[in-house]
Amino acid sequence: MPRFRRLSSAQPGRFPPVETGPRVLFNSIQFPLFLAIVFVLYWSARRAPLQAQNTIVLAASYVFYGWWDWRFLGLIAGSSLLDFFLGLQVHKQRAPTKRKALLAMSLLVNLGGLAIFKYLGFFVASTAELLTSLGLQPNLPTLHIILPVGISFYTFQTLSYTIDIYRRKIEPTRDIVGFLAFVSFFPQLVAGPIERAAALLPQFLVRRQFDVTKAKDGLRQILWGLFKKVVIADNLSGQVRAIFDGYASLDGVALTIGALFFALQIYCDFSGYSDIAIGTARLFGFNLTRNFAFPYFSRDIGEFWRRWHISLSSWFRDYVYIPLGGSRLSTASRIRNIVITFTVSGFWHGANWTFIVWGLLNGLYYIPLMLANKRPPDTVVAVGRLLPSLNELIAMMITFALTLIAWVFFRAESLTHAIQYLWRGVSHPWLGLDLSGYGPGLIACAILLALEWFQRDKQHALELSQVSVLPRWFTYISVALAIFVFGHLGATEFIYFQF
């Protein structure tokens, strides 16, 4: 298996089937051994100077990343060093024009690198298609550019550092080891959360103390994240692939199940990664940003985006939407800002028109809320009650249905594929097909949603401190057994590795 997926403009949005390899994936056999070694070395240096612990984190992070392909270590190191020194200079300068020039250098180099690796093939292919449609015969090369894993995440992380220094929200650090460790911190390096320097960098500049309570909760969150990934997401992936590939012979019920399965697959895959990352960081005394807050229980699309990929949503809010003028402008300008922000967010996910339309569609969903001046709820649904009210249930169902439609574009290989998939579902609602094969997947989805519903006011589903000992340990053991019996350990990458 290649160490990086080669993305061509022909099929950049595919979700590939099972892959295997020697990399240190969270769901691999190698990761527990790697984690144990780093854990022992790290806490063995707890009485040494702080620099020693940070050096261990940095070395472990570069080993973790270099295991994918050592050639791209230079890329992350170069990006980190550039923003480290530019941050010092931006803070030092008082002349506005020089400060802007330094910030522009950071933006140009970081976004330029991202554009080359992630989007150049897309633009070349789109240009070729446009010229062909005009009757011309372009002789443009077909590009197959290796996409460095995690580049979208650590690029945004370092960019926020220089931008916040420019805005005088934070001061730069002179601890180069601590800064490099902050950028490359291995639990969240490959797929986030996208950490702000204001939140995570100070944790590298003070001594950490081992906290047994925090470590235990970290292990529980790792367990839950692993369950979501290897038991739910990986078992659903085959059926999702079969339904999306064979949609032309299926009916609306089966296609709805396919969209439902993908919604749960991508949620369990990505939030599972975030849970493992957050839990692993807690073992080392760090607190990472919460990235998911049970988003499928949202009552409108605004609440959904406050609960889904929180670190990215807030990044685009603070560094794209607000600089465009945010909500301070006219209605037309606010609509423009919403559409731009969501469309750019879609494009961040990949060089494919399907992602752009997915982002645009979510932006269109959001506009009615903005026009009605309706703020997303800031409390969990059905607070203090076992079941939601009828209005809450209807609101959640509508929001989830809109989300499913958007997910079809996200998962499809092309716009034509997505439109035909949706049209097939509407035009052939029921053909009396045998749906018995989808039973296990539907049961798994129901169990997952039920567990998360009961824990919707917690940080994760295995936060069971309020539960008595026997039921609590029965749940832990049951989840662990499910991982070993039904899990696909070490079999597949996480979906967001390709973004």
Q: How do residues 348-359 score in pLDDT, each as one tens digit?
A: 988 788 999 999
Strands 144-146 and 6-8: antiparallel
Q: CA 486, 256, 496, 83: dihedral to nearest 10 degrees?
A: -150
Using DSSP's 3-state secondary structure scheme, residue 145 falls into: strand
How far apart CA 347 and CA 360 sit, in angstroms, is 10
* Contact assessment for residue 194 and residue 317, using Cβ atoms and an 8 Å cutoff: no
CA 72 to chain centre: 21
- The whole-chain average pLDDT of the chain stands at 88
C-alpha to C-alpha distances, 317 to 104, 168, 313, 320, nearest whole angstrom = 20, 18, 6, 6
Residue 178: per-residue pLDDT: 95
Phi-psi region of 228 (alpha: psi -120 to 50; beta: other; left: phi over 0): alpha
Please tell me the number of Cα atoms within 13 Å of 64 on its side-chain side: 25
Using DSSP's 3-state secondary structure scheme, residue 148 falls into: coil
Cis peptide before 323 (omega within 30 of 0): no
- Of 218, 381, 203, residue with least CA distance to 307: 381
Residue 396: both structure tokens together: 């959640």
How far apart CA 72 and CA 196 sit, in angstroms, is 23
Q: Which amino acid is at 430?
A: W
Q: Which of 349, 417, 428, 488 is catalytic?
A: 349
- Of 193, 262, 224, residue with least CA distance to 417: 262
Residue 141: per-residue pLDDT: 61
How far apart CA 342 and CA 344 sit, in angstroms, is 5
Phi, psi of 75 (to 5 degrees): -70, -50
* Contact assessment for residue 345 and residue 304, using Cβ atoms and an 8 Å cutoff: no
Which has the higher per-residue pLDDT, 167 or 120? 167
pLDDT grade for 71, boundaries at 50, 70 and 90:
confident
* Contact assessment for residue 164 and residue 198, using Cβ atoms and an 8 Å cutoff: yes
* Contact assessment for residue 408 and residue 421, using Cβ atoms and an 8 Å cutoff: yes
Q: Which amino acid is at 31?
A: F
**Known catalytic residue: 349?**
yes
Residues near 352 by beta carbon (within 8 Å), at least 6 away in sequence: 12, 13, 122, 414
pLDDT in tens, 370-421: 888 888 888 899 988 999 999 999 999 999 999 999 999 999 999 999 999 9
* Contact assessment for residue 382 and residue 389, using Cβ atoms and an 8 Å cutoff: yes
How far apart CA 117 and CA 111 sit, in angstroms, is 10
Size (the chain), residues: 499
Q: Does residue 25 carry a pLDDT above 90?
A: no
Residues near 100 by beta carbon (within 8 Å), at least 6 away in sequence: 166
Q: Does residue 162 carry a pLDDT above 50?
A: yes
Helices (H), 67-150: 73-92, 96-114, 120-133
pLDDT in tens, 444-485: 899 999 999 999 999 999 999 888 899 999 999 999 999 999
Residues near 147 by beta carbon (within 8 Å), at least 6 away in sequence: 4, 5, 6, 7, 117, 118, 498
User: Region 4-25: what's the mean pLDDT?
Assistant: 44
Element of type H or E holding 243: helix 234-245
Residue with tokens 């949706």: 422
User: Region 126-154: what's the mean pLDDT?
Assistant: 70
* Contact assessment for residue 451 and residue 461, using Cβ atoms and an 8 Å cutoff: yes
Give this prediction's pTM.
0.90
